[in-house]
C-alpha cells in the first residue's frame, strides 16, 4: 500500500539481513523473543512498518516498509539501539562481546519490488530450514 509524506507518495520495501558478531548462534529462547519485541518497538518509533520478520539462531531477517527520508540508513539505528537494549537486559553477554558490538558490522539489504510475496515466504520458511540444520547441532547450552 502506497503511503505519503508532505509532497511524496512512496512504497519502499526492503529485505534486510544481519548477523551477530562472529555469527555466533546466540539468538534463541527468551533473547529471540525479546529481539522481536525490541525491533518492533524501534520500528514503531521511526514510523517504519515491519512487514515480516524472523529471528533465526544466527541471523535476523526483516522485510520493512521504510520511508524515503530514512531509506536503508534505518538499519544502523535498529542494530545500534537493539544492541544497547540487549546488553542492558542481558548483561552476561558483555563478557562474550567486545564493547557493545552485539551485531557484526555489515548487513545485507535489497529492495523488494514486485517479489514481496516470495520474500515474505522465504522469511517465514527460515525457521523450517534452520530446524533441518539444527538436527546436526543440538547442543545450544553454551553457544560461546
In a domain, 143, yes or no: no
Tally the domains of the chain: 1
Whether 95 is in a domain gets the answer: yes
Query: pLDDT digit string (tens) for 43-59?
Result: 999 989 999 888 888 89
- Catalytic one of 70, 77, 90, 122: 122
Q: Assess whether 122 carries a catalytic annotation.
A: yes
How many other C-beta atoms are found inside a 10 Å radius of the C-beta of residue 138?
Answer: 7
State pLDDT tens for residues 119-136.
888 888 877 766 655 555
SS3 state at 64? strand
Query: Is 67 within a domain?
Result: yes
d(CA 39, CA 83): 10
**Residue span of the structural domain in which 57 resides:** 3-134
Q: Are 65 and 41 in contact (CB under 8 A)?
A: no
Residues 6-31 have pLDDT tens digits of: 777 878 889 999 998 888 888 888 88
**What is this structure's pTM?**
0.74
Helices and strands in the chain, H and E counts: 4, 6
C-alpha cell read off for 29:
529462547
- Specify if 94 maps to a domain: yes
Amino acid at each position: 500500500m502506497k503511503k505519503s509524506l508532505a509532497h511524496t507518495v512512496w512504497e519502499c520495501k526492503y529485505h534486510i539481513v544481519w548477523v551477530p558478531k562472529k555469527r555466533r548462534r546466540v539468538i534463541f529462547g527468551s533473547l529471540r523473543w525479546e529481539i522481536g519485541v525490541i525491533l518492533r518497538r524501534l520500528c514503531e518509533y521511526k514510523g517504519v512498518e515491519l512487514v515480516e520478520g524472523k529471528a533465526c539462531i544466527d541471523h535476523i531477517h526483516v522485510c520493512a516498509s521504510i520511508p524515503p527520508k530514512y531509506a536503508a540508513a534505518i538499519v544502523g539505528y535498529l542494530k545500534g539501539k537493539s544492541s544497547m537494549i540487549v546488553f542492558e537486559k542481558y548483561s552476561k553477554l558483555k563478557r562474550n562481546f567486545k564493547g557493545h558490538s552485539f551485531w557484526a558490522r555489515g548487513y545485507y539489504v535489497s529492495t523488494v519490488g514486485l517479489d514481496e510475496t516470495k520474500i515474505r515466504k522465504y522469511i517465514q520458511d527460515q525457521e523450517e530450514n534452520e530446524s533441518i540444520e539444527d538436527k546436526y547441532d543440538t547442543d545450544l547450552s553454551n553457544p560461546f
